[in-house]
Amino acid sequence: MSATEVSASANAIVIAKFGGTSVADFDAMNRSADVVLSNPNVRVVVLSASAGITNLLVALAEGLPAEVRAEHLAKIRQIQYAIIDKLTTQSVVRDEIDRMLDSITTLSEAAALATSNALTDELVSHGELMSTLLFVEILRQRDVVAEWFDVRKIMRTDDHFGRAQPDCAALGELTRSQLQPRLAQGRVITQGFIGSEAKGRTTTLGRGGSDYTAALLGEALGASRIDIWTDVPGIYTTDPRVVPTAKRIDQILFEEAAEMATFGAKVLHPATLLPAVRSDIPVFVGSSKDPAAGGTLVCNKTENPPLFRALALRRKQTLLTLHSLNMLHARGFLAEVFSILARHNISVDLITTSEVNVALTLDTTGSTSTGGNLLSSALLTELSSLCRVEVEENLSLVALIGNKLSQACGVGKEVFGVMDPFSIRLICYGASSNNLCFLVPSADAERVVQTLHRSLFE
């Protein structure tokens, strides 16, 4: 399915979001500019940082020694200057990028003395601020009316730095008063991933949050479609890098795509879809490298959704097994476990129980802070006072996404009949009719996905 096949009606607003690889360098930015200009309905453009920049900024925020810091700063400068050097008029944008680079240097020196999540967000936000400044310049050199807009003016969030939650009511109000009037003058270029809390400090929505920004703005503006432009032409039956024979899905339900995103498919950010689902806004996913290749439309209804839709893989999973004889016929044990986890800001992903054991997984992907610090010694000490705790790492989660899985006959045989060569650490099935999940050793994860894909999709 191509973007033009699902083009919006006249005068409707389309939000176009471009990921890091789509704004990685001068050529990539120009290809993305072509995509924007090919559709007059694209009024708002949301950008990620240029590929590689966010990782360098996150590293700087962790507090690096002077020598390594200088190397990282030089790499950031080199990536952005490779774009500036190809612009015909450079002076204004060069000055602005230099100001940003100075700010990054100052903040990274501060991080070397003491790190904090608030400082990390302030530092990391510079990636999106720089890419949008450069993209506006690229459009202006084509005589396109384009305005740079600081999304922090409207993206109000709480102060949970690293994974802030937007205030949708405030965002809606501010978008209509500050952003909407600008759309009559030309295209607006703004940042994904970043926002600001009540005191005006910069926050981030978690890694991959640029998609979420696009969907939130789409909802606030009553957009007719949200286009997510990335480096793959759509959503596939599994990651084509793991299974080269994976097939593209032309249309997929919101529920299926949300399950895929939640369980590790990199194409969409899990929270992206919430505003789109609420407001019934279709989401198109395509490749900025090859817009003509078509893509996937995520929507509320599709014809005959299949039993098995896709496989998703999520690495770096941590399994906690809690053992206590006090659980036997007792009340309140799980409530106590969950309240301890809640106090430490940890959400449980999958859970299975027996008479005296509870096994649960913690997903360590998603926020700008690293996963390793989820299991603090304070948390383990508190849990240990309640029960015996075992921690297992180097596990991966494989999720089979589908429709009415829990009502269908023979699913267990079809799935587990081909899993003889592998050990399975935990199975979750029945809570949702859209997924069947299991944990396997990370060393086996790719072979498990390849085996299942061959059996179920080829």
| Binding site listing | 17-20, 54, 128, 230-231, 236, 241, 266-267
**Residues comprising the binding site for ATP?**
17-20, 230-231, 236, 241, 266-267
Task: List the one residue out of 212, 203, 213 whose CA is nearest residue 120.
Answer: 203
For residue 134, what are the contacts with CB-CB under 8 A and spacing of at least 6? 23, 29, 50, 80, 83, 84, 87, 93, 97
Which of 179, 180, 208, 178 minimizes the C-alpha distance to 192? Answer: 208
Positive or negative, the CA dihedral 106, 108, 113, 115 is: positive
Instruction: List the binding residues for substrate.
Output: 54, 128
User: What span, in angstroms and rounded, lies between the C-alpha atoms of 166 and 157?
Assistant: 4
* 76-84: Cβ within 8 A, 24+ apart: 76/101, 76/104, 77/101, 79/25, 79/50, 79/52, 79/53, 80/50, 80/53, 80/130, 80/134, 82/25, 82/26, 83/25, 83/26, 83/29, 83/50, 83/134, 84/134
Quote the Cα angle for 418-255-318, to 5°.
Answer: 60
Three-class SS state of 436? strand
